[in-house]
Amino acid sequence: MEKRLGYWLIAPAAITILLVAIYPIISVYILSLTERLLSLGIDRFIWLQNYQKLLTDPRFWNAFTNTCIFTGVSVSLELLLGLAIALFINRPFSLRGIIRAAVLLPWAIPTVVSAKMWAWIFNTDLGILNYALQSFGIISSNLNWLGEPTLALGSAIIVDVWKTTPFAALLLLAGLQIIPDDLYKAASVDGASNWQKFWHITLPHLKPIMLIVLLFRTLDAFRIFDSIYILTGGGPANSTETLSIYAYKILFQTLDFGYGSTIAVSVFIFVVLISLIYIFVLRKQGSLLNE
Amino acid sequence: MNRWVRRSGFYLGLSILCFWLAGPVIWQFITSLKSNAILTSLPPVLPDKIVFSHYTNVFTERPFARIILNSFIVASCTTIYCLAIGLLAGTSLSILKFKWRKTFLAIVLSVSMFPPIATVSPLYLIIRAIGLRDTYLALIFPYATFALPLSIWILTNFIAEIPSELYKAARIDGCSPMQALFKVIFPLAAPGVFTCAILVFIFAWNEFLYALTFTTTTNSRTIPVAIALFPGLHEVPWGEIAAASIIVTLPLVVLVFFAQKRIISGLTAGSIKG
Amino acid sequence: MAEIKLKSLSKKFGKTDALHPLDLEIRDGEFMTILGPSGCGKSTLLNLLAGLEAPTTGDILFDGESVIELSPKQRDVAFVFQSYALYPHKSVYDNIAFPLAVVKTDKKEIDKQVHQVAQLLEIENLLERRPKELSGGQRQRVALGRAIIRRPRVFLFDEPLSNLDAQLRTQMRTELKKLHRKLKTTFIYVTHDQTEAMSLADTIAILRDGNLLQTGTPEKIYKEPANMFIGSFIGNPGMNFVNAELIENGAKVKLENRIFELSLIVGKPGEIMAGLRPEYIQIADEKHPGTIPARVEVVEHLGSEALIEVTTRNNSTLIIRTAQELDLSMNDEISLNLDLSKASFFDKSTGSNLPIGE
């Protein structure tokens, strides 16, 4: 009786996942093997030609490089800043509740809103950032934060770091709080310095949760779309164009569903590879912990 | 003395942290209260007169009320739908000892890692083919790709904490399996459902890519898309964007303030335990 | 009220046998304890009886009728869990009322019965509280109340006292016994604690590795354990085992270099094991032929009695229970009187009790 009920209860979820996730992900692979131009009504099977095109497409490799730089830099900054914040607020003080709410604020705000907010701050002529930097004498003339190819990607990274560091900080804080206090007491008795305590107790205990934060953040950063779409739309001169932005443009501006899907599939493949690497490392970590 | 220095150092650090976290939002708030004349004048200072025209404008000159309603309906329906079926699935996985539990959870976890860009083109073609474009359903179902795995994951973990003896006891006390779930298990799962509902609502409220692709008019357009596509005749309407941003952020701020513990427990669920 | 029969009942989980086919009869109104170490299959047996799990083979009869196809609801059994399994979101009143509320009983009737049960268990003042506001003993009573209110045919108990502290456990034990006398219903009580089993049960069934080893009254199981495992498991401390040899067609037994005459023949000549309860060994006042010399290792004073661990010349360790006032210390040489008429004898290879024949 319970067994049959078990199947019935899981059926709605299973069917939904099948329809909105599994079917599309299979379907996007098939699309990537076709030439499909919605505006011209062309729809034919061309096997791997799109992938051939992909490998020799300089714009694809540019987008790939941008995505990697964006992911690498923003995720490392988020982890370091997140760890710093977590260590900083992991102590009892009276305003803790308010601080925690403040840390959650950037996380809860829609990415679109945060991007618009920063776009206004970065505004060349009217933005407060240029004004403040000029007032302090750091720059002599206004910088075009979002319009200058050398600056735009960095600006996008700042926005992402602002928005997602809180998530990392909160997970790391939760990780810090489950480290048994007795370990620190024992270390104090043994005469360890604060730095030694951090190095020999905090870091090893935090390692698994750090890896999980890295996994979540890497996957999220690698598929970055919202904030860059708002901030620069991929410009100037494709200097901020990431894989998701490039795929979106080919899909919904050129209406080339075949090639667009191919780029989308490449994002999926990279995401799977990243997950596999992390899972491998986590597994190894797990076995190390067990020993 | 040393202690006093350390304490003030700590509070100085806290102030910098708060400035970094809340500064951009506060600046947006100040912007939203400035008249257009002050907005475009340099230096960007505090307004000498507070103006609410941007707030009234987004409702009178733009269909913002309808857009908020759209966002609210889409986010609520996504939450109700995903939580309802997520609760059933979570129960099946943790109380009824569903046979393929591990396999199912592994699939759920991998689905949660799907990049939305990879599913957007097939979903677009399906939605166009069955004529759902620019409807609420065109958002509610695709939102299940991220909302449902999250719900299943959180609720399965939560329900697994409920002792299975309680289910057995209810069965012995004369309940049918369904009665046992409704009278005992579901009431006990309520805090987990609530936590999960907050997270799913926030994620659905904030979603952008699907909303940008599957909506075309104010009939179903949600807030993030509306803000992204705010049309300005000659220049970017920064004041109105700021006002709109503050309006959509306000409910989230309230939610974060009152439910911070739940949100944090939901975010860390499963990842801490491994 | 029900008489229960289990017919070659077995349960497999995947490939592992949780319970080998077993037959067992439980009389109407009997207090039966199922005793065994953890993992012996006793909880599985209880789940099968309650209908929470389906058996792999066999049949369960309540008053001669098979209940295999019946759901827990239809079997009319009550279950008291080790964790009590009180519904945390309901008050004590609603917890006790729940079995009646599920079958849509009249509100007034429920109220009457809840108060009756609460009175019986002396928990009337707790009815408005939540389970988490109760002590362990109080939770235990509420769990009993929830079981009693339905007047089930059978009560099933799964180690109900193991979460209580020692003092409370003794007290609840007495109360359970009284309750059984009052309700006159069949009780099936699972435990790993032999003291609990001995003090509560009319009949004990001993289970190990999914096999039913012995059933019988506490006295019979104590005096005539079916095998060495039961001998050592029952009793605190358990039975002493000494190497022995059966000689002269089994009429005499040689033990610690002494020869004892037996009134009854217990088996074929050869190596065997003799089992001696700690109270069947006495410390002799002085050495005389027939006593066994031994050296004192440990003396444990328990108040009214003492446990003395000794080593014999043949290097067997024996534990002696004595109420005598003795002033012994380590390495003292003493002599022991053995009362072999109360001893059990076991086959050395199988460990099973040797039948005492004519």
**How much is the pLDDT for C265?**
61
* Predicted ipTM beyond 0.95: no
Report CB contact under 8 Å: B165, C52.
Answer: no
Band of residue B64 on the pLDDT scale cut at 50, 70, 90: confident
Report CB contact under 8 Å: B176, C81.
Answer: no
Cβ within 8 Å of B, A 80-109: 85, 88-89, 93, 95, 97, 99-106, 108-109
pTM for this prediction: 0.86
Report CB contact under 8 Å: A268, B149.
Answer: no
* CB burial of residue A60 (10 Å; 0-12, 13-18, 19+): buried
Q: How far apart are CA C100 and CA C102, in angstroms?
A: 5
Helix (H) or strand (E) holding A42: strand A42-45
Across B83-112, average pLDDT:
88
pLDDT over 80 at A286, yes or no:
no
Q: How far apart are CA C225 and CA C232, in angstroms?
A: 9
For residue B137, the chain A residues in CB contact (below 8 A) are: none
For residue B184, the chain C residues in CB contact (below 8 A) are: 87
A32 touches chain B (CB under 8 A): no
| B93 alpha carbon, distance to own chain's centre | 25
**How much is the pLDDT for B38?**
77
SS3 track for chain C: CCCEEEEEEEEEECCEEEEEEEEEEECCCCEEEEECCCCCCHHHHHHHHHCCCCCCEEEEEECCEECCCCCHHHHCEEEECCCCCCCCCCCHHHHHHHHHHHCCCCHHHHHHHHHHHHHHHCCHHHCCCCHHHCCHHHHHHHHHHHHHCCCCCEEEEECCCCCCCHHHHHHHHHHHHHHHHHHCCEEEEEECCHHHHHHHCCEEEEEECCEEEEEECHHHHHHCCCEHHHHHHCCCCCCEEEEEEEECCCCEEEECCEEEECCCECCCCEEEEEEECHHHEEECCCCCCCCEEEEEEEEEECCCCEEEEEEECCCCEEEEEECCCCCCCCCCEEEEEECHHHCEEEECCCCEECCCEC
**How much is the pLDDT for B43?**
67
CB atoms near residue B112 (< 10 Å): 18
Report CB contact under 8 Å: C83, B172.
Answer: no
Residue ranges per structural domain of chain A:
32-112+160-285
Q: For residue C51, what is the nearest residue in chain B, using CA coordinates?
A: B172
**How much is the pLDDT for A145?**
85
B6 touches chain C (CB under 8 A): no
Kindly report, residue by residue over A109-147, the tens digit of the pLDDT.
999 999 999 988 888 887 888 888 888 888 888 888 888
**How much is the pLDDT for B273?**
46
pLDDT over 80 at A152, yes or no:
yes
Q: How far apart are CA C2 and CA C65, in angstroms?
A: 10
Q: For residue A16, what is the nearest residue in chain B, using CA coordinates?
A: B144
Q: For residue B183, what is the nearest residue in chain C, using CA coordinates?
A: C102
**Residue in this structure with the two tokens 């099948």, named with its chain if needed:** A18
Across C231-246, average pLDDT:
89
Nearest to B98 among A10, A31, A120 (CB): A10
Kindly report, residue by residue over A14-42, the tens digit of the pLDDT.
999 999 999 999 999 999 998 888 888 78
Across C105-113, average pLDDT:
92
**Tokens standing for A177?**
């709080």
Across C9-37, average pLDDT:
91
CATH code at A32-112+160-285: 1.10.3720.10
Kindly report, residue by residue over C286-332, the tens digit of the pLDDT.
777 778 888 999 988 888 888 999 998 888 899 999 887 778 888 88
Residue C152 distance to chain B (closest CA, Å): 10
Report CB contact under 8 Å: B96, A3.
Answer: yes
Helix (H) or strand (E) holding A149: helix A149-177
Q: Which residues contact C326 (CB under 8 A, 6 or more apart)?
A: C283, C306, C308
Nearest to B163 among C52, C71, C83 (CB): C83
Kindly report, residue by residue over C132-167, the tens digit of the pLDDT.
999 988 999 999 999 999 889 999 999 988 888 888
Q: Which residues contact A145 (CB under 8 A, 6 or more apart)?
A: A122, A124, A127, A129, A130, A151, A152, A155
B165 touches chain C (CB under 8 A): yes
For residue B186, the chain C residues in CB contact (below 8 A) are: none
Q: For residue A257, what is the nearest residue in chain B, using CA coordinates?
A: B121
Q: For residue C50, what is the nearest residue in chain B, using CA coordinates?
A: B172
Interface-testing mutation among C49, C71, C73, with chain B (most B C-beta atoms within 10 A): C73
Q: For residue C157, what is the nearest residue in chain B, using CA coordinates?
A: B169
Q: How far apart are CA A95 and CA A102, in angstroms?
A: 11
Q: Which residues contact A199 (CB under 8 A, 6 or more apart)?
A: none
Kindly report, residue by residue over A170-222, the tens digit of the pLDDT.
889 888 888 888 888 888 888 888 888 888 888 888 888 898 889 889 999 99
pLDDT over 50 at A290, yes or no:
no
Report CB contact under 8 Å: A171, B271.
Answer: yes
User: Which one has a higher pLDDT value, B3 or C9?
Assistant: C9
Domains and CATH numbers, chain B: 63-229 (1.10.3720.10)
pLDDT over 50 at C208, yes or no:
yes
A12 touches chain B (CB under 8 A): yes
